[in-house]
Chain A
Amino acid sequence: MARPPVSEEELVARYGPHLNEVPAGGWNAGVEPDREVKTHCCFCGQQCGIILKVKDDEVIGFEPWYEFPFNEGKLCPKGVKRYLQNAHPDRLLEPLERDPSAPGGFRPVSWDHALDRTVAEIQRIQAAYGKDAFAMLSGVSLDNEKSYLIGKFARLALGTAHLDYNGRLCMVSAGVANKRALGIDRAANPWSDIPLADVVFVAGANIAECAPITTSWIWRARDNGAKLIVADPRVTPTARTADVFLGLRPGTDSALLGAILHVLIERDWLDHDFIRDHTTGFEAAAEAVADHTPRWAAEVTGVPAARIEEAAELWGTSATGMLLHARGIEHQSKGVENVWACINLGLATGKYGKPGCGVTTITGQGNGQGGREHGHKCDQLPGNRDITNPEHRAYIASVWGCEVDDIPGKGLTAEEIVEAIHRGEIKGLLSICFNPVVSLPDTTFTKEALDKLEHYAVIDFFLSETAFHADVVLPGSLHEEDEGTSTSVEGRVIKLNPSKTPPGQARLDWEILLDIARRLGKGHWFPYENAEEMFEELRIASKGGSADYAGITWDRIERELGVFWPCPSEDHPGTPRLFEGGRFYTEDGRGRFNPVRYRPPAEVVDDDYPVWLTTGRVVSQYLSGTQTRRIGPLVAQYPEPLCEIHPNLAATHGIETGDVVRVTSRRGSMTLPAKVVATIRPDTIFIPYHWAGRQAANQLTNRALDPLSKIPEYKVSAVRLERVGPAGSAVVDVRDTALVEREDAGGDAPRTPPSEPGEGGG
Chain B
Amino acid sequence: MTAVPVSIGVKRSPATQPVAGSLGDSIFVIDQSRCIGCRACVQACEECGTHRGTTMIHLDEIDRAASTQTAPMVCMHCEDPTCAEVCPADAIKQNEDGVVQSSLKPRCIGCSNCVLACPFGVPKYISAYDQMMKCDMCYDRTSVGLKPMCASVCPSEALWFGSPDEFAATRTGTLVNEWQFGNQAVATKVRAVSHVAGPIDVLAAGSARAWHDDPFGLDEEGGHA
Chain A residues within CB distance 8 Å of chain B: 22, 27-28, 30-31, 61-62, 64, 66, 73-77, 79-81, 208-209, 212-213, 215-216, 219-220, 222-223, 235-238, 240-245, 247, 249, 294-295, 298-299, 302-307, 619-620, 633-634, 637, 647-648, 657, 675-679, 681-683
Contacts and interface: CB of A to CB of B under 8 A. Distances in A.
Given A75-B153, A241-B206, A304-B223, A235 B68 contact: yes
9 contacts: A74-B157, A79-B40, A223-B170, A237-B36, A241-B34, A298-B222, A299-B224, A647-B65, A678-B65
A212 B43 CA distance: 15
Given A77-B42, A215-B156, A295-B222, 16 more contacts: A28-B52, A64-B153, A79-B40, A212-B156, A216-B156, A236-B68, A237-B70, A247-B215, A294-B222, A306-B220, A619-B37, A657-B65, A677-B64, A678-B65, A678-B215, A682-B225
A245 B211 contact: yes
Contacts of B42: 77
Interface string B58-69: 000000111111
A294 to B, nearest CB: 8
B75 to A, nearest CB: 20
Nearest to B216: A247
B47 interface: yes
B155 A76 contact: yes
Nearest to A649: B225
B124 to A, nearest CB: 17
Interface string B30-55: 00011111111011101101001100
A332 to B, nearest CB: 20
B154 interface: yes
Given A215-B155, A682-B216, A302 B224 contact: yes
A209 B35 CA distance: 12
A31 B141 CA distance: 14
Given A302-B224, A307-B211, A73 B44 contact: no
Nearest to A53: B47
B206 to A, nearest CB: 7
Per DSSP, chain B at the interface is: loop
A75 B224 CA distance: 39
Contact of B153 (A30, A74, A657): A74
A558 B180 CA distance: 51
Interface residues on B, range: 35 or more
A243 B225 CA distance: 20
Contacts of B52: 27-28, 31
Contacts of A223: 170-172
Contact of A302 (B34, B64, B171, B225): B225
B35, B43, B225 — which one has the most chain A CB atoms within 10 A of its CB?
A: B225
Given A223-B171, A245-B211, A307-B217, A208 B36 contact: yes
Contacts of A240: 67-69, 207
A235 B38 CA distance: 15
Nearest to B37: A237
B59 to A, nearest CB: 10
Contacts, number: 164
Interface of B: 33-40, 42-44, 46-47, 49, 52-53, 64-70, 147, 149, 152-157, 170-172, 206-207, 209, 211, 215-218, 220-225
Contacts of A304: 217, 220-223
Contact of B40 (A76, A236, A302): A76
Contacts of B171: 223
B206 A27 contact: no
A75 B218 contact: no
A235 B220 contact: no
B64 to A, nearest CB: 6
B34 A219 contact: yes
A241 B215 contact: no
B172, B211, B216, B218 — which one has the most chain A CB atoms within 10 A of its CB?
A: B216
A222 B222 CA distance: 29
B35, B36, B67 — which one has the most chain A CB atoms within 10 A of its CB?
A: B36
B211 A237 contact: no
A81 B38 CA distance: 13
A168 B219 CA distance: 40
A75, A307, A683 — which one has the most chain B CB atoms within 10 A of its CB?
A: A75
A28 B35 CA distance: 31
A241 B208 CA distance: 8
A303 B223 contact: yes
A682 B36 CA distance: 23
A675 B64 CA distance: 9
Contact of B39 (A73, A77, A303): A77
Report, nearest first, the 4 A-B pairs whose CB atoms are least far apart. Answer: A27-B53, A298-B222, A208-B36, A212-B155
B46 to A, nearest CB: 7
Contacts of A682: 216, 218, 225
Contacts of A216: 155-157
B110 to A, nearest CB: 21
A219 B156 contact: yes
A674 B70 CA distance: 20
Contact of A73 (B147, B156, B211): B147
Nearest to A64: B152
A209 B36 CA distance: 8
Given A61-B47, A299-B224, A677 B211 contact: no
Nearest to A81: B43
A80 B211 contact: no
A80 B40 contact: yes
B225 A75 contact: no
B152 A637 contact: no
Contacts of A31: 47, 49, 52
Nearest to A73: B152
B156 A76 contact: no
A222 B193 CA distance: 15
B211 A75 contact: no
Given A66-B152, A247-B225, A679 B67 contact: yes
A242 B220 contact: no
Contacts of A247: 215-217, 225
Contacts of A77: 38-40, 42-43
Contacts of B67: 235, 240, 678-679
Contacts of B217: 247, 302-304, 307
B80 to A, nearest CB: 33
Contacts of B225: 247, 249, 302, 681-683
A330 to B, nearest CB: 22
A77 B43 CA distance: 6
Contacts of A620: 38-39
Nearest to B52: A27
Contacts of A683: 225
B211 A208 contact: no
Contacts of B39: 77, 619-620, 637
Nearest to B39: A77
A702 to B, nearest CB: 22
Contacts of B53: 22, 27
Contacts of B207: 240-241
Contacts of A81: 43
